[in-house]
Amino acid sequence: MSTFIKPSQVDVVSPSTVQFSVHSTVQEKAKNGRPTEQLTVQSANAEVLLESLVGAIINNINPAKSSLQKHRDLQECEQEKWLLTTKEIEEIVGRKPRKIQGENYGIMGGWKFIAKGKSGNQTLWQVEQLEL
Protein backbone atom coordinates (compact mmCIF):
# COMPACT_ATOMS: atom_id res chain seq x y z
CA MET A 1 0.00 0.00 0.00
CA SER A 2 2.93 2.36 0.48
CA THR A 3 3.42 2.67 -3.30
CA PHE A 4 -0.29 3.07 -4.11
CA ILE A 5 -0.97 5.91 -6.62
CA LYS A 6 -4.16 7.87 -6.04
CA PRO A 7 -5.22 9.65 -9.29
CA SER A 8 -7.56 12.61 -9.24
CA GLN A 9 -8.90 14.79 -12.04
CA VAL A 10 -10.34 18.28 -12.04
CA ASP A 11 -12.06 19.59 -15.20
CA VAL A 12 -12.64 23.30 -15.68
CA VAL A 13 -15.00 24.22 -18.54
CA SER A 14 -14.97 27.76 -19.90
CA PRO A 15 -18.12 29.39 -21.36
CA SER A 16 -16.77 29.09 -24.91
CA THR A 17 -16.80 25.26 -24.58
CA VAL A 18 -13.00 25.02 -24.66
CA GLN A 19 -11.97 22.66 -21.92
CA PHE A 20 -8.93 22.77 -19.69
CA SER A 21 -8.03 19.69 -17.70
CA VAL A 22 -5.79 19.47 -14.67
CA HIS A 23 -4.66 15.98 -13.76
CA SER A 24 -2.64 15.35 -10.63
CA THR A 25 -1.20 12.15 -9.32
CA VAL A 26 -0.04 11.93 -5.74
CA GLN A 27 2.27 9.14 -4.82
CA GLU A 28 2.30 8.53 -1.09
CA LYS A 29 5.92 7.35 -0.93
CA ALA A 30 8.47 7.33 -3.68
CA LYS A 31 11.45 5.02 -3.83
CA ASN A 32 13.47 7.38 -1.65
CA GLY A 33 10.74 7.34 1.02
CA ARG A 34 9.57 10.94 0.52
CA PRO A 35 6.12 11.89 -0.83
CA THR A 36 6.07 13.19 -4.45
CA GLU A 37 3.45 14.92 -6.55
CA GLN A 38 3.19 15.10 -10.34
CA LEU A 39 1.04 17.80 -11.95
CA THR A 40 0.05 17.81 -15.61
CA VAL A 41 -1.83 20.76 -17.10
CA GLN A 42 -3.36 20.64 -20.56
CA SER A 43 -4.41 23.95 -22.05
CA ALA A 44 -5.57 25.03 -25.48
CA ASN A 45 -3.34 27.08 -27.69
CA ALA A 46 -3.81 30.81 -27.04
CA GLU A 47 -4.12 31.43 -30.77
CA VAL A 48 -7.05 29.00 -31.07
CA LEU A 49 -8.79 30.64 -28.12
CA LEU A 50 -8.32 34.08 -29.66
CA GLU A 51 -9.76 32.89 -33.00
CA SER A 52 -12.80 31.47 -31.21
CA LEU A 53 -13.35 34.69 -29.31
CA VAL A 54 -13.01 36.87 -32.42
CA GLY A 55 -15.40 34.58 -34.33
CA ALA A 56 -18.00 34.83 -31.58
CA ILE A 57 -17.70 38.63 -31.50
CA ILE A 58 -18.06 38.89 -35.28
CA ASN A 59 -21.12 36.63 -35.28
CA ASN A 60 -22.76 38.83 -32.66
CA ILE A 61 -21.92 42.07 -34.48
CA ASN A 62 -22.88 40.81 -37.96
CA PRO A 63 -25.72 38.31 -37.56
CA ALA A 64 -26.09 35.76 -40.34
CA LYS A 65 -28.31 36.68 -43.27
CA SER A 66 -31.58 34.86 -43.71
CA SER A 67 -31.71 32.09 -46.32
CA LEU A 68 -34.16 34.06 -48.42
CA GLN A 69 -31.89 37.11 -48.48
CA LYS A 70 -29.00 34.95 -49.72
CA HIS A 71 -31.17 33.69 -52.60
CA ARG A 72 -32.34 37.24 -53.43
CA ASP A 73 -28.73 38.44 -53.55
CA LEU A 74 -27.68 35.54 -55.80
CA GLN A 75 -30.72 36.07 -58.04
CA GLU A 76 -29.79 39.75 -58.48
CA CYS A 77 -26.21 38.75 -59.35
CA GLU A 78 -27.54 36.32 -61.96
CA GLN A 79 -29.91 38.89 -63.51
CA GLU A 80 -27.25 41.60 -63.67
CA LYS A 81 -24.66 39.07 -64.96
CA TRP A 82 -22.18 40.15 -62.29
CA LEU A 83 -18.98 38.18 -61.77
CA LEU A 84 -18.26 37.69 -58.08
CA THR A 85 -14.97 36.88 -56.39
CA THR A 86 -14.64 33.86 -54.12
CA LYS A 87 -14.63 36.19 -51.11
CA GLU A 88 -17.83 37.94 -52.21
CA ILE A 89 -19.63 34.61 -52.64
CA GLU A 90 -18.40 33.51 -49.23
CA GLU A 91 -19.87 36.70 -47.73
CA ILE A 92 -23.27 36.00 -49.34
CA VAL A 93 -23.50 32.22 -48.95
CA GLY A 94 -21.33 31.66 -45.89
CA ARG A 95 -18.78 29.36 -47.50
CA LYS A 96 -16.39 29.32 -50.43
CA PRO A 97 -17.48 27.80 -53.74
CA ARG A 98 -15.44 24.78 -54.80
CA LYS A 99 -15.15 23.35 -58.29
CA ILE A 100 -16.31 19.80 -58.92
CA GLN A 101 -13.28 17.67 -59.75
CA GLY A 102 -12.53 17.88 -63.46
CA GLU A 103 -15.11 20.66 -64.06
CA ASN A 104 -15.03 24.46 -64.08
CA TYR A 105 -18.09 24.87 -61.85
CA GLY A 106 -19.42 24.02 -58.41
CA ILE A 107 -22.94 23.63 -57.04
CA MET A 108 -24.19 24.87 -53.66
CA GLY A 109 -27.73 25.22 -52.38
CA GLY A 110 -29.50 25.17 -55.75
CA TRP A 111 -27.00 27.52 -57.38
CA LYS A 112 -24.29 26.81 -59.95
CA PHE A 113 -21.08 28.82 -59.64
CA ILE A 114 -19.06 28.82 -62.87
CA ALA A 115 -15.38 29.81 -62.75
CA LYS A 116 -14.84 32.46 -65.44
CA GLY A 117 -11.37 33.84 -64.70
CA LYS A 118 -9.19 35.45 -62.07
CA SER A 119 -9.05 38.78 -60.29
CA GLY A 120 -5.69 38.87 -58.53
CA ASN A 121 -5.51 35.71 -56.47
CA GLN A 122 -9.32 35.28 -56.40
CA THR A 123 -11.43 33.28 -58.85
CA LEU A 124 -14.27 35.13 -60.58
CA TRP A 125 -17.57 33.23 -60.56
CA GLN A 126 -20.72 33.56 -62.66
CA VAL A 127 -23.91 32.66 -60.77
CA GLU A 128 -26.76 30.59 -62.29
CA GLN A 129 -29.84 29.20 -60.60
CA LEU A 130 -30.34 25.47 -61.19
CA GLU A 131 -33.38 24.53 -63.25
CA LEU A 132 -35.96 22.16 -61.80
pLDDT tens digit string along 88-115?
A: 999 999 899 999 999 999 999 899 999 9
Reference 40, options 14, 3, 9; nearest CA is 9
**What local confidence, expressed as pLDDT, does residue 52 receive?**
80
2: exposed, middle or buried (Cβ count in 10 Å: 0-12, 13-18, 19+): exposed
Confidence grade of residue 5 (pLDDT, cut at 50, 70, 90):
low
Looking at residue 24, its pLDDT comes to: 45
Domain chopping of the chain, boundaries: 5-61, 67-129
Q: What is the CA radius of gyration of the chain?
A: 27
Question: Is 8's pLDDT higher than 70?
Answer: no
pLDDT tens figures, 28-74: 445 555 554 443 333 446 777 788 888 777 767 766 667 789 999 99
* Alpha-carbon span 40 to 122, nearest angstrom: 45
Q: How confident is the model at residue 82 (pLDDT cuts 50, 70, 90)?
A: very high
Q: What is the pTM of this model?
A: 0.52
